[in-house]
């Protein structure tokens, strides 16, 4: 018979903590929790802790996501914030959403305190009312904000984590793209005509339409994880100017017909030609030779995005797709032609330049006239 020695105490077992996915589900079903005021902090192996608004995540299975969606493995989620207040934190075992770790604070109380703090800060600093919104409802493709570094060094990552990270990196959507600006006035007018037609049938899609000054022919998307990679990409494109000029399609690109990606993105199709394929293939070679990541598969389609469904609008519509009937009249629309005269490296973040176009670290203008 065993006995407990004098002074020994039985260790108290910590109560189980509700998981990150439990919190996600609570946010999605609990109407009292405004999703647009929730931020998720998640760990990126290379960039540290990043933050993104809750609305910008897709919670579908990771292997079903396309490159317009952003997903995160559950084990990467570190914390949830309501406004600027952390309400669930895996690192410190804080759970003010369910109270599973015994904090004694409910999510309602945590939100009430955060709202009061927010109002007090407004009175003190009188910022613009736009500060209350964490995310724009017009787009889904913002880049996360770096707010700290991971506490683990590269040497501390296990072999299993290496395998997980390969999977994780493959699922990270691109954050930059290379394009030709769609500056043909005829093309822009046709694009606006289609967008107007769609919005007359479904006004909720108005905020999902790409403005004329932002229209572009996407040639390639890529993942650049830090400033050094952006610099390497800019350098590679500028050094390759002459060889890319030699491969320019001699005829302008023909844009005709309308199609979609997974019924979430409506786009004008660019006719594929041997010359365009050769140009893009060589562009791939230049980027890969510089050690850069190109997530596009072999069947990547050059296109001009016209309407892109955002998650907030999808929720308003009650589905995750744009009805093809809305643009069926434009299925064979002729959008005209667009010369390939310059390529722009663009960030997918929401910030726009003074002309309403994407922020572009660099562009290469081709001097050889296109015949």
CATH number of the domain within which 212 lies: 3.90.1140.10
Whether residue 215 is found in the same domain as residue 349 = yes
CB contact at 8 A, 240 and 292: no
pLDDT at residue number 167: 38
Residue 123 confidence (pLDDT): 61
Q: Whole-number mean pLDDT of the chain?
A: 80
Cα separation, 233 vs 250, whole angstroms? 25
Separation between Cα atoms, residue 296 and residue 123, nearest integer Å: 48
Question: pLDDT-derived band of residue 137, with 50, 70 and 90 as boundaries?
Answer: very low
- The answer to whether 140 and 45 are in contact (CB under 8 A) is no
Task: Establish if 27 belongs to a structural domain.
Answer: yes
pLDDT at 232: 92
Residue 23 has pLDDT above 90, yes or no: yes
Whether 94 and 243 share a structural domain: no
Q: Do 112 and 242 belong to one domain?
A: no
Q: Total structural domains in the chain?
A: 2
Sign (positive/negative) of CA torsion 255, 256, 257, 258?
Answer: positive
Mean pLDDT is lowest, of 63-67, 127-131, 223-227, 293-297, for: 127-131
Q: How far apart (Å, rounded) are the C-alpha atoms in residues 203 and 193? A: 14
Domain boundary among 138, 169, 200: 169
**Among residues 122, 154, 169, which one ends one of the domains?**
169
Output the pTM of the full model.
Answer: 0.56
50 lies in which domain range? 20-169
Has residue 6 got a pLDDT over 70?
Answer: no
pLDDT-derived band at 145, boundaries 50, 70, 90: very low
Q: Are residues 321 and 205 in the same domain?
A: yes
238: tokens are: 């500028």
CA 55 – CA 141 distance, rounded (Å): 11
Contact (CB, 8 A) for 167 and 153:
no
Instruction: Give, in order, the Cα–Cα distances in Å from 236 to each of 121, 300, 335.
Output: 46, 22, 32
Nearest by Cα to 348 from 319, 313, 305: 305
End-to-end CA distance of the chain: 96
Can you state the angle between helices 227-239 and 274-289, rounded to 10 degrees? 130
Query: Domain boundary at 169, 203, 220, which?
Result: 169
Q: Which band of pLDDT confidence, cut at 50, 70 and 90, is reported for residue 88?
A: very high
Is the alpha carbon torsion for 139, 144, 147, 150 positive or negative?
A: positive
Instruction: Tell me the pLDDT tens digit for each residue of 248-304.
Output: 998 999 999 999 988 899 999 999 899 999 999 999 999 989 988 776 555 668 899
* Sheet architecture: strand order including 85-89: 94-95, 85-89, 77-82, 38-44, 48-53, 145-148
Alpha helix locations (H) across 172-310? 185-201, 227-239, 241-246, 274-289
Q: 80 has which bridge partners?
A: 40, 88
Collapsed DSSP state (helix, strand, coil) of residue 147: strand
- What is the band of 153 on the pLDDT scale with cuts at 50, 70, 90? very low
pLDDT at 147 over 90: no
The Cα 114–Cα 127 span in angstroms is 17
Q: Are residues 312 and 186 in the same domain?
A: yes
Residue carrying structure tokens 């660099």: 362
Q: Are residues 304 and 161 in the same domain?
A: no
Length of the chain: 371
For residue 288, what are its two tokens? 């890969």
Residue 143 · residue 347 · CB < 8 Å: yes
DSSP-assigned letter for residue 53: E
pLDDT at position 5 is: 54
- Residue 247 and residue 276 in one domain: yes
């Amino acid at each position: 018979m065993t006995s407990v020695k004098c002074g020994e105490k039985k260790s108290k077992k910590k109560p189980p903590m509700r998981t990150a996915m439990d919190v996600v589900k609570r946010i999605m079903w609990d109407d009292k929790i405004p999703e647009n005021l929730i931020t998720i902090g998640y760990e990126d192996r290379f960039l540290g802790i990043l933050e993104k608004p809750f609305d910008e995540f897709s919670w579908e299975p990771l292997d079903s996501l396309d490159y317009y969606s952003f997903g995160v493995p559950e084990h990467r989620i570190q914390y949830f914030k309501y406004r600027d207040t952390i309400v669930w934190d895996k690192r410190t075992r804080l759970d003010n959403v369910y109270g599973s770790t015994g904090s004694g604070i409910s999510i309602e109380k945590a939100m009430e305190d955060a709202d009061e703090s927010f109002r007090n800060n407004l009175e003190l600093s009188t910022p613009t009312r736009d500060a209350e919104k964490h995310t724009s409802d017009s787009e889904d493709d913002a880049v996360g904000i770096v707010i700290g570094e991971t506490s683990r060094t590269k040497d501390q990552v296990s072999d299993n984590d290496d395998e997980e990270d390969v999977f994780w990196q493959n699922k990270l959507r691109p954050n930059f793209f290379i394009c030709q600006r769609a500056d043909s006035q005829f093309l822009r007018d046709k694009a606006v005509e289609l967008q107007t037609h769609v919005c007359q049938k479904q006004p909720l899609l108005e905020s999902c339409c790409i403005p004329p000054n932002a229209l572009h022919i996407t040639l390639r998307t890529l993942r650049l994880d830090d400033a050094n990679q952006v610099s390497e990409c800019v350098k590679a494109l500028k050094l390759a100017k002459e060889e890319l000029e030699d491969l320019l399609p001699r005829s302008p690109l023909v844009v005709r017909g309308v199609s979609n990606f997974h019924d979430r993105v409506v786009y004008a199709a660019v006719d594929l030609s041997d010359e365009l394929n050769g140009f893009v293939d060589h562009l791939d070679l230049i980027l890969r030779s510089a050690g850069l990541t190109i997530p596009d598969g072999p069947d990547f389609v050059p296109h001009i995005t016209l309407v892109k469904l955002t998650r907030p609008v999808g929720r308003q519509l009650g589905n995750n797709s744009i009805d093809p009937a809305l643009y069926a009249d434009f299925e064979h629309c002729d959008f005209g032609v667009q010369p390939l005269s310059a390529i722009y490296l663009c960030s997918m973040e929401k910030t726009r330049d003074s002309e309403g176009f994407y922020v572009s670290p660099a562009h290469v203008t081709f001097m050889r006239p296109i015949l």
